């Protein structure tokens, strides 16, 4: 059977590298090309030395969309919304697109400028992109050709809070989420400068991170009404991989630990990648895999939910492939059926 022909835009970034690594092991997919403006014409291992000897692929400057069945866009935030209209036109709407940027996540066109601080170039397309938080939006993804892949913080927070929202909880949830440095990408900057990132912690954009509205949007959809309000403090942590999200909420009246656990069991009982765990999760248990480990506790009228993911896999490339699988009607685990190494 002919394999699905996919292209990757932004293949030299960290998410692009993980996409290539994952897709090289995907039984139904063939990587036709991957672009890089830094390494055009050079072998993939120049950007991703782990892939030396594992593929002969070289980066190209441009993709030929007509030769592709599916496109992963892993370039910078703000690029996709400018390029997508032409790509859609050129491919006669046949190309499946999975955009890993924040450009098409928010359905309400007024939210984008509010949280991203700039105008959206293609607001009319926003509603054509299905929000790709697989476990929370599978039916919509299955029917869609274009997917807006969630942000890494959003993935952890939305998986942590989805069952509460669907179960009817309301109010504000306080979330502190710590991220690894790979989330800032492959280009050096002050925030990822080793001497000051190492052995350090630093919060940023408290209450104002742009992943907040996409979480509230999907929680509202699950609840069927305005539901949980996300009060998020992101923190830069001294590790390279992972998001660790600690969530606290009031226990709704009448709920017990069993009520809460029931909601999580309902939602994730049969999930391939979300694992409900009995003690607080760790990054080392999920890093290198598409898993999200979720822990729930109740004490003195408070709910605590803690979720851990690999920011580049479940928080980016892995979920992107998971969404492709769902779109194609394939087994959701194709190409993703691996654990990370431990420790």
Q: What residues between 246 and 305 interact with its own copies by CB under 8 A?
A: 246, 248, 250, 275, 277, 280-289, 291, 293, 295, 297, 299-300, 302, 304
In this complex, which beta carbon is closest to its own copies, that of residue 140 or of residue 170?
A: 170
Q: Please report, as residue ranges, which positions from 304 to 323 form the binding site for its own copies (by CB under 8 A).
A: 304, 306, 308, 310, 312-313
Beta carbon of residue 204, minimum distance to its own copies (angstroms, whole number): 6
342 lines the binding site for its own copies (CB under 8 A): yes
**Closest to its own copies by CB, 123 or 304:** 304
Number of residues that bind its own copies (CB under 8 A): 86
Rounded Cα–Cα distance for residues 307 and 303 (Å): 13
Nearest to 201 by CA among 244, 231, 264: 244
Distances (CA, A) of 241 to 118, 199, 302, 322: 29, 14, 29, 19
Q: How far is the CB of 68 from its own copies (least distance, A)?
A: 24
Tally of residues, the chain: 343
Which residue's CB is nearer to its own copies, number 78 or number 238?
A: 238
Residue 139 within binding range of its own copies, rule CB under 8 A: no
Tell me the β-bridge partners of 274: 292
Distance CA 23, CA 30 (A): 7
Q: How far is the CB of 67 from its own copies (least distance, A)?
A: 26
Are the beta carbons of 340 and 318 closer than 8 angstroms?
A: no
Nearer to its own copies, 7 or 180 (CB): 180
Q: Examine residue 181 and tell whether it contacts its own copies (CB under 8 A).
A: yes
Catalytic residue among 57, 100, 152, 321: 152
Q: Quote the least distance from Cβ 311 to its own copies, whole Å.
A: 11
**Contacts with its own copies in 140-179 (CB under 8 A)?**
172, 174, 176, 178
Q: Which residue from 1, 29, 121 is spatially nearest to 317, judged by alpha carbons?
A: 29
Considering only residues 187 through 246, tell me which ones interact with its own copies, judged by CB under 8 A.
Answer: 187-190, 192-204, 206-208, 231, 233, 235, 237-242, 244, 246
For residue 228, report the phi and psi dihedrals to the nearest 5 degrees.
-75, 140
Contacts of its own copies in 11-40 (CB under 8 A) = 14, 17-18, 21, 24-25
Interface stretch with its own copies, choices 42-50, 131-139, 154-162, 214-222 (CB under 8 A)? 42-50
Cα-based torsion angle of the residue sequence 320, 322, 325, 331 in order, rounded to the nearest 10 degrees: 170
Handedness of CA 96, 98, 101, 106 (dihedral sign): positive
Q: Residues 6 or more apart from 122 whose CB is under 8 A from it?
A: 81, 82, 84, 85, 103
86 vs 201, beta carbon nearer its own copies:
201
What token pair was written down for 181?
A: 């440095």
Would you say 52 or 225 has its CB closer to its own copies?
52
Other Cβ atoms less than 10 A from the Cβ of 91: the count is: 17
Helices 14-24, 318-328: axis angle to 10 degrees equals 50
Residues in region 45-64 near its own copies by CB under 8 A: 48-54
Query: What's the min distance (Å) between Cβ of 269 and its own copies?
Result: 12
Smallest gap from residue 243 Cβ to its own copies (A):
9
**Read out DSSP for 294-337?**
EEEEEETTEEEEEEEE-TTIIIIIHHHHHHHHHHHT--TTTTT-
* Residue 247 annotated as catalytic: no
Closest distance to its own copies from the beta carbon of 127 (Å): 26
Whichever of 17 and 162 has its CB closer to its own copies, that residue is 17
* Residues forming the active site: 152
């Amino acid at each position: 059977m002919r394999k699905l022909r996919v292209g990757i835009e932004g293949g030299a970034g960290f998410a692009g590298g993980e996409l290539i690594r994952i897709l090289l092991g995907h039984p139904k997919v063939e990587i036709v090309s991957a672009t890089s403006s830094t390494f055009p014409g050079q072998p993939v291992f120049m950007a991703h030395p782990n892939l030396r000897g594992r593929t002969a692929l070289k980066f190209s400057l441009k993709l030929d969309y007509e030769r592709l069945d599916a496109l992963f866009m892993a370039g910078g935030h703000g690029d996709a919304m400018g390029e997508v209209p032409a790509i859609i036109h050129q491919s006669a709407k046949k190309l499946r697109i999975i955009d890993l940027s924040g450009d098409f996540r928010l359905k309400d066109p007024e939210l984008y400028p509010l949280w991203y601080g700039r105008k959206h170039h293609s607001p009319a397309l926003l509603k054509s992109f299905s929000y790709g938080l697989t476990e929370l939006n599978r039916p919509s993804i299955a029917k869609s050709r274009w997917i807006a892949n969630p942000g890494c913080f959003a993935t952890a927070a939305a998986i942590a809070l989805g069952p509460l929202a669907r179960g009817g909880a309301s109010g504000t949830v306080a979330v502190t989420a710590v991220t690894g440095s790979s989330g800032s990408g492959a280009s050096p900057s002050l925030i990822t400068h080793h001497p000051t990132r190492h052995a350090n912690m630093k919060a940023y954009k408290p209450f104002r991170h742009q992943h907040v509205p996409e979480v509230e949007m999907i929680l509202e959809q699950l609840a069927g009404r305005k539901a949980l309000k996300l009060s998020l403090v992101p923190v830069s942590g001294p590790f390279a991989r992972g998001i660790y999200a600690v969530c606290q909420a009031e226990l709704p009246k009448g709920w017990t630990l069993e009520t809460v656990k029931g909601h999580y069991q309902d939602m994730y009982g049969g999930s391939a990648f979300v694992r409900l765990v009995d003690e607080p999760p760790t990054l080392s248990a999920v890093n290198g895999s598409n898993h999200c480990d979720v822990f729930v506790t109740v004490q003195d009228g408070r709910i605590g939910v803690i979720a851990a993911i690999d920011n580049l896999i479940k928080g980016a490339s892995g979920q992107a492939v998971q969404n492709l699988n769902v779109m194609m009607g394939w087994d959701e685990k194709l190409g993703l059926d691996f654990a990370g190494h431990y420790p």
